Amino acid sequence: MNVEVEPQVPPPSNDVAPVGDERTWALLGHLSAFSAFISGIGCVLGPLIIWLVKRDSLPFAADQAKEALNFNITVLLAALGLCIITIVTIGIGLLLTVPLGFALFVYWVVFTIIAAVNANNGIRYRYPMTLRLVN
């Protein structure tokens, strides 16, 4: 008696894996934050522009650009807080804010690169400790 069993196939998902162009735009959404080296506010403008341009046509790229935008707004707010502490303490706070500022910079660079690599591999990345201000 031969009984054939059909292989178990997972149901199709609505979440289609991103391909070439969409992954490239998602990668650029994260890496555009490095335009902050040219203009300080560029860390927000780069992801914002990519999100606004691609939000209707490339959902994965738009999601990742929005995630990068939220992360960079959070980092910018943290940097602003460090500047305020320095001003309020009339410079004495530099003993605290300089090391924290350096740690914040390293955190920003490392997690931006991690996110860019994941986006390039087609994996949705969520930054840790990020305010989700843009929905």
Q: What is the mean pLDDT of residues 75-89?
A: 95
pLDDT digits (tens, 9 = 90+) for 26-40: 999 999 999 988 887
Residue type, 116: A
69 CB-near residues (< 8 Å, 6+ apart): 44, 47, 48, 51, 134
Look up the pTM and report it: 0.83
Domain ranges for the chain: 20-120
129: alpha, beta or left? (left if phi > 0; alpha if psi -120 to 50)? left
Tokens 């506010």 sit on residue: 41
Q: What is the mean pLDDT of residues 119-124?
A: 95
Q: Is the pLDDT of residue 7 over 60?
A: no
Question: What is the CA angle 88-92-96, rounded to 5?
Answer: 95
Q: Is the pLDDT of residue 121 over 90?
A: yes
